[in-house]
Chains A and B, each alone.
Chain A
Amino acid sequence: AQSVAQPEDQVNVAEGNPLTVKCTYSVSGNPYLFWYVQYPNRGLQFLLKYITGDNLVKGSYGFEAEFNKSQTSFHLKKPSALVSDSALYFCAVRDREGSGNTGKLIFGQGTTLQVKP
């Protein structure tokens, strides 16, 4: 079965410092990986995706993620955190099992990012 794990419930970082939010995956075949951000009482906003190509993917709001096939990881990074980056972050993989590409997303449990001034 396909799965995504976010090992940290919360990540704390000081404003201006680099941040990393971790994600590992388990899939059959080549993964389609995504990062989303959720602010309180809001839906999810798309940050970036990896489908194929360069392992370093750049996304919205200065975020990037590195696909590492050998470590089955897709960690989210930003060189300099902002207080406004504080939110709930979800890693997801697209379901490709069973009858094929169903389009369903399988989400990690989420990581709360807290950026302190």
Chain B
Amino acid sequence: GAVVSQHPSRVICKSGTSVKIECRSLDFQATTMFWYRQFPKQSLMLMATSNEGSKATYEQGVEKDKFLINHASLTLSTLTVTSAHPEDSSFYICSANRGNYEQYFGPGTRLTVT
């Protein structure tokens, strides 16, 4: 099946620094990718839709200046958490659309801000 990777799988950073998370579709091209945030034992919260070659579409309540998304190619989208704070600690998951109906998910990135 289709594979989506994320890097890094875990990251610990200090408060005030920025962290970049990469999402790659390994064996298919994805014009649309999605970024989710998940708190422990909770559902996924969609943060933004990332479109190749254009600006991301952010969900209501998500700060676009804090969570920078870049979709520079058909196989790579990046999420940068700027000036991270402890409340940004979470599990971040990306996904990519393949074809009309199927969405494939990355393994997730555990971010801890100290």
Listed stretches B42-50, B61-69, B75-83; interface member: B42-50
Q: What are 14 A-B pairs at a CB distance below 8 A?
A: A41-B108, A42-B108, A43-B106, A43-B108, A46-B104, A51-B101, A94-B101, A102-B49, A103-B97, A103-B103, A104-B34, A104-B49, A110-B41, A110-B42
Interface residues of B (CB under 8 A from A): 1, 4, 6, 32, 34, 41-44, 46, 49, 91, 93, 95, 97, 101-108, 110
Q: Which of B1, B46, B105 contacts A36 (CB 8 A)?
A: B105
Point out which of B95, B103, B108 has the most chain A C-beta atoms below 10 A from its C-beta. B103
20 additional contacts, CB 8 Å, given A43-B6, A43-B105, A112-B41?
A: A32-B101, A41-B110, A42-B107, A43-B108, A44-B44, A44-B95, A44-B105, A46-B103, A46-B104, A51-B101, A88-B41, A90-B43, A102-B49, A103-B34, A103-B97, A105-B34, A105-B103, A107-B43, A109-B42, A110-B41
Task: Indicate whether A49 reaches chain B with its CB closer than 8 angstroms.
Answer: yes
Is there contact, CB below 8 Å, between A43 and B107? yes
Interface assignment of A2: CB less than 8 Å from any CB of chain B: no
A49 to B102, CA, bound (A): 8
